Chain A
C-alpha cells in the first residue's frame, strides 16, 4: 500500500507528464476524425453534440436499449489537456527568459481551450427573419419550439404565454400563469408527420379543432443541419373546472386554433421558441448583388434601423458579409434570404466568450515567434561552429 504522499507524487507526475499531453492530443485527433466523418450521417450539430460537447462518447448497441462509454468525449479531453498544460507549466518550465516563448504559447492555449468551454456552455444561436419594411423585437431559436397560449381578446395587443418544449415533454398539468387556464398534456412527440385521416386510421385522440380529422405518425427526432423537427402535442385546456376538449397542436399546423373562456379568446400555437429583445430592428432594404452576366453572388446586405427607446438610440445599420452588427452582447450576421429577395434572415449569436480566441491567437502567435526566434539563433550559432570545425574535411571531400 503506497503512502499518501507517494500516491500524491505519482498523481502529480502523471498529471504533469508530457506523455499525457501527447495522449490527449492523439485522443483529440481521433475525436476530430470521428466527428468529421459522423457529420455525413448526423449533421454538424448532431456530430458535435455526440463527440465534442460530451464528457464521454457513448456507443448505442444497435437494436437494444443499451449504450456503453467507449471513448473520452471532447469536453473531458479538453479539460484534461488544459489541466495538464497548466500543471506542467507550473512544474517543469522554469521561469527563464529563454522559456518566455513557451510560457506565452501555453497561456494562450489554455485560454483557447477555456474559450471553447465558455462557448459550449453559454453560446446561444438564434435567428431573426424580417420582411422588407417589417420590424422584429424578438429572435427565434432554430432548434427549440414552444407552445404558446395567446390571449387575442384585445385587438390592439396580444398577451403571450409560452410553454417550452421541455415542459411539454414532462407531461402532467401545466398552469398558464396570468390566466385561469391549465393545460393537461395528453401526448407529446418531438417529431411527427401529419396526414389527413383515412377510414383505416385509428380514432383521433383530439376531440376539438382541426386535429379531429388529422392522423399523427411519430417520427424519430432529426439532427441534420438541413432538417427540422416538427414537435407535436395533444393538450387539453381546462379553465374554471371546465374542459375545452383535447386539441392537436403542431408546428406543422399553420392556422391558429382557439377557444373562448369567460369572454376572453385564447389561441394555441406551436412555433420556434422566441426570446424578446428590449429593442426593435426594422429591415429597410435587403440587397442581393451578383456578378454581371452570372448568378454568382457578389454581396448580400441588410440595411436595418435599430430602435432602442430605453437608451434613446435610433440609428441605421448596414449588415453585410463579414461585417456583423454587435449590439448589447449579441452579434447579428447576414445569414440567408428568401421570398424573392425581400426577406432577410439574420443569424443572431450571443457568446460572452467571443473575445477569448482573439486574445489567445495573439498570445500563441507571439509566443511561437519568440520561441522559434530563440531556437533559431541558438541553432545558427551551433551551425556556424560546426561549419568552422568541418571546413577542412569538407574541402577534402569536394576535391575527390
Chain B
C-alpha cells in the first residue's frame, strides 16, 4: 500500500471509529438504567418518539444544552427528565434555565452575574409575574416586540413547558402515580385526573386501538380508564418506576422500566424497535460528530499546504470522506425515522445544503486533486452544520408537516432540488473565496495552473447550481399551481429563488460574452453567497408571504455579519494583480520567485 492510500484509509477509519464510540450507551446513572427509561415510546407533538427525544428537546429549549453540570456531576437529559417527572423537589434545585436578559433578571430582583443559569427554585416566587408579563408580551406582534418582551415571552414559554413536564405523569405536589392509582375512588381524585390530562406535555400510554388519535393516552386519561376498571399494565409499570426512583431503589426501577417497555411493545408491535432506532440516532449525534470531523479535515488541509503534503492531503481527503459518510448516515436516519424526504424545515435544509456541498466538493477533489476541493467542502460542511445547530432551539427537528406541506412527492422534488441549488451556489462562492485567499497569501498569487483549476471548478459548480435552482424554482411553481392555483405568485420565497436563478444565469452569460474575466467571475460567485443567504433566511425575516414555515428574527445580526464579510472579501477579490503579486508572507516583492506553495 502506498503512502497516499495509507494516509487516506488511516484517517478515514480513525474518524469512523471515533464516531462509532458515540453509539455506546451511557451506562447506569447512580445505579439506575436511564437508557431503558429513555427508550420508552411516547406521543408528543403528534409524533411517536422515545422519551429520550422529549428529554433532550425539552432541556434544549429550557437550557439550550442537552446536558449540564450539577454538584460536580454531568446530568444528562434523561436523568434530568426523571427528576422533573418523579422528584420535582430535586429538579427545582438544578440550574436548568438559561436567562440572558438583564431586564428579565431584574424582574426577579436578580443582578446579572457571570453565571447565566438559574434553578426553578429561584424563579418560583415570580411565576405569576412572569406569566403576567409574558402573556402581555405575546399579544404584541413578534416583529414589534422589544428585547425585554421577547425575552420574557420566551421565558414564560419555558416556565410553562417545565411546569407541564412536572405535571405530566403525576401532579407535582402529590405523593405520586402509585398513590394516585391506589386512591382512584376518593372524592378529589377525578379533579386531579382532569388537571393531569390538562397539563400533560406528552402521552406515555399506548393501547392497541387502530388510529393514532385514540391509541395514545395521557396519565390523566389512563387513570380515568383505570377508574372505570380498565387499568393498563403500562400505568402500573410507570407507577412502580415512580415509586422506585423516589425511593432510590435501582433494581426495582430497572425492572419496572423493562416492564413498561414490554407492555408498550405488547400493545403495538414495532413500537419498541422504532423508538429504539431514534434512541440510537440521538445518542450518535451524527451531525455533531460530522462537524468535528470536518474541522479536522480543514485543519489537515491547511497544514498540508505548509508541511508534509504527501501524507496530510490524502489524510484530509480521508477525513472529509469519513465526515461525508457520517453526515450521510445521519441524513438517511432522519429520512427513515421521519418517513419523509430529507428537507422538511429550515433546520434540515441547513443539514442538506452542507451535505450537497460536501459531496460536490469531494467530487471536485477527485477530479482536480489540489486540496482545494477538500478545504472548501469541509468548510462548507462545517459552516452549514453550525447553522443547523443554531436552528435546533425551537425543539423537535422532526416536527409534523402542516397540511399543505404534507406531500412527500413535492417535498422530495421541489424542496430537495432547490436546496441542492443553494448548495451549489454556496460551494461556488466558497471556491471563489478560496481563490481570493490563496491569491493574497501566496507569493506571486500562487501557480497559475491551480488558479485556472479553481476557476474551472467554480464555473462547473455555477452551471450545476443554475440547473438545480432553476428546476427547483419551476417545480415550486408547479406545486404552487397544484395547491393554491397560481404558478407564480411573486411570494418572497419564490422571488428569492428567482434571484438565485437570475444571478447564476448572469454569471454564465457574462462569462460567455467575455464581459468578465477571472476576477469578475470570482467576485460574482461570492455575491452569489449573499443572494443565496438572503433568499434562504432573509426573506423569512420579512414576515410576509406563504412560506412562513421558518420565521426567525434572532438570526438577523448573524446574517448581516455574514453579508458584510462576503462584501469585504469581494473587495479583495477584485483588487488588481499589483496588490497581491507580493504575497502577504513575503517582505520583499519578488513576483518572479518560484510558484510552489509557501516555502
Residues on A facing B (Cβ under 8 Å): 18-19, 21-22, 25-26, 28-29, 32-33, 35-37, 39-40, 43-44, 47-48, 52, 112, 115-116, 119, 123, 125, 290-294, 296-300, 321-324, 331, 333, 335, 347-349, 351, 354, 357-358, 360-361, 364-365, 368-369, 372, 375, 379, 383, 397-398, 400
Interface assignment of B297: CB less than 8 Å from any CB of chain A:
no
- CB neighbors of A among B490-520 (8 A): 490-492, 495-496, 498-499, 502-503, 505-506, 509-510, 512-513, 515
Q: Chain B residues with Cβ under 8 A from A375's Cβ? A: 463
Known: A32-B499, A397-B596. 6 other contacts (CB 8 A): A293-B43, A293-B216, A296-B400, A298-B406, A351-B487, A368-B466
Verify if B539 is at the interface (C-beta below 8 Å from A).
yes
B236 interface residue, CB < 8 Å from A? no
Cβ of B18 under 8 Å from chain A:
no
User: CB of B46 within 8 A of chain A?
Assistant: yes
Give the dominant DSSP class at B's interface: helix
B175 interface contact, C-beta 8 A: no
Instruction: Judge whether A358 and B43 touch: CB under 8 Å.
Output: no
The residue that A297 contacts in the complex, of B213, B402, B485, B515, with Cβ under 8 A, is B402
* B367 lies within 8 A of A383 (CB): yes
Verify B502–A25 contact, CB threshold 8 A.
Answer: yes
Measured between beta carbons, the chain B residues less than 8 angstroms from A300 are 403
Contact B495 A35 (CB under 8 A): yes
| Nearest-neighbor residue (CB-CB) of B544 within chain A | A39
A22 & B487 in contact (Cβ 8 Å cutoff): no
Beta-carbon contacts under 8 Å, B473-499 to A: 474-475, 477-479, 481-492, 495-496, 498-499
| Residues in B neighbouring A335, C-beta threshold 8 A | 484
Interface flags, B190-211, vs A, CB<8A=1, else 0: 0000000000000100000000
Is the pair A368, B46 in contact by a Cβ cutoff of 8 Å? no
Q: Do most interface residues of chain A lie in helix, strand or loop, or is the interface mixed?
A: helix
Q: Which 3 residue pairs across A and B have the least CB separation, nearest first?
A: A291-B46, A349-B485, A18-B513
A36 contacts which of B410, B479, B495 (Cβ < 8 Å)? B495
**How many residue pairs, one in A and one in B, have C-beta atoms under 8 Å apart?**
162
When the two chains form their complex, are residues B488 and A116 in contact, meaning their CB atoms are under 8 A apart?
A: yes
Which of A44, A323, A347, A379 is in CB contact (< 8 Å) with B485? Answer: A347
8 Å CB interface, B433-478 against A: 456, 460, 463-464, 466-467, 470-471, 474-475, 477-478
Instruction: Return chain B residues, CB-CB under 8 Å to A369.
Output: 467
Please report the C-alpha to C-alpha distance between residue A115 and residue B486 in the assembled complex, in whole angstroms: 12
Q: Contacts of B484 on A, CB cut-off 8 Å?
A: 333, 335, 347
Chain B nearest CB from A281 CB (Å) reads: 16
Question: How far apart sit A364 and B43, CA to CA, in the bound complex (Å)?
Answer: 45
In the complex, A75 Cα to B512 Cα: how many Å?
26
Cβ of B509 and Cβ of A22 under 8 Å apart? Answer: yes
Q: Are A331 and B542 in contact (CB under 8 A)?
A: no
- What B residues does A112 contact at CB under 8 A? 474
In angstroms, Cα B486 to Cα A44, docked, is: 13
Cβ–Cβ contact B467 & A125, under 8 A: no
The answer to whether A361 and B492 touch across the interface, beta carbons within 8 angstroms, is no
Q: Kindly state whether residue B404 has any CB partner on chain A within 8 Å.
A: yes
**Which residue of chain A is the closest to B475 with respect to CB atoms?**
A361
Contacts of A22 in B (CB 8 A): 506, 509-510, 513, 515
In the complex, what's the smallest C-beta–C-beta distance from A352 to chain B, in angstroms?
Answer: 13
Task: For B25, list chain A residues within 8 Å (CB).
Answer: none
Q: What is the bound-complex CA distance between A330 and B71, given in angstroms?
A: 68
Q: How far is the CA of A372 from the CA of B474 in the complex (A)?
A: 19
Partner of A296 from the list B367, B402, B491, B503 (CB cut-off 8 Å) is B402
A-B contact pairs, 16 of them (CB 8 A): A22-B509, A28-B502, A32-B498, A32-B499, A39-B545, A52-B490, A292-B212, A293-B216, A321-B403, A322-B483, A347-B484, A354-B487, A360-B474, A364-B470, A398-B310, A400-B596
Q: How far is the CA of A119 from the CA of B482 in the complex (A)?
A: 15
Q: Is B47 an interface residue (CB 8 A)?
A: yes
B407 at the interface (CB under 8 A from A): yes
Q: Are A44 and B474 in contact (CB under 8 A)?
A: no
- Using CB atoms, name the residue of chain A closest to B400: A291
| Contact A125 B542, beta carbon cutoff 8 Å | no
**Least Cβ distance of A54 to chain B in Å?**
13
B45 within 8 A of partner (CB): yes
In Å, the complex CA distance between A296 and B396 comes to: 14
Cβ-defined contact, B45 with A291, below 8 A = yes
Tell me, yes or no, whether B44 is within 8 Å of chain A by CB.
Answer: yes
Tell me the nearest residue of chain B to A123, going by C-beta.
Answer: B486
CB distance from B331 to the nearest CB of A (A): 24
**CA–CA, A21 and B511, complex, Å:** 13
- Chain A residue numbers with a CB within 8 Å of B515 are 18-19, 22
Query: Given A35-B490, A368-B470, is A294 in contact with B477 using a C-beta cutoff of 8 Å?
Result: no
Q: Is the CB of B463 within 8 A of A372?
A: yes
Question: B400 is contacted by which of A119, A298, A400 (Cβ under 8 Å)?
Answer: A298
Contact A298 B403 (CB under 8 A): yes
- Asked if A322 and B492 sit within 8 Å, CB to CB, the answer is no
Query: B513 and A364: CB pair below 8 A?
Result: no
Give Cα A254 to B596, complex, Å: 84
A322 touches B44 (CB 8 A): no
Known: A29-B502, A296-B402, A368-B467. A291 touches B47 (CB 8 A): yes
Cβ-defined contact, B499 with A47, below 8 A: no
Question: In the complex, which residue of chain B has the Cβ closest to the Cβ of A74?
Answer: B490
User: Please, which residues of chain B bring their CB within 8 A of the CB of A297?
Assistant: 402-403
Interface string of B225-251 (1 = CB under 8 A from A): 000000000000000000000000000
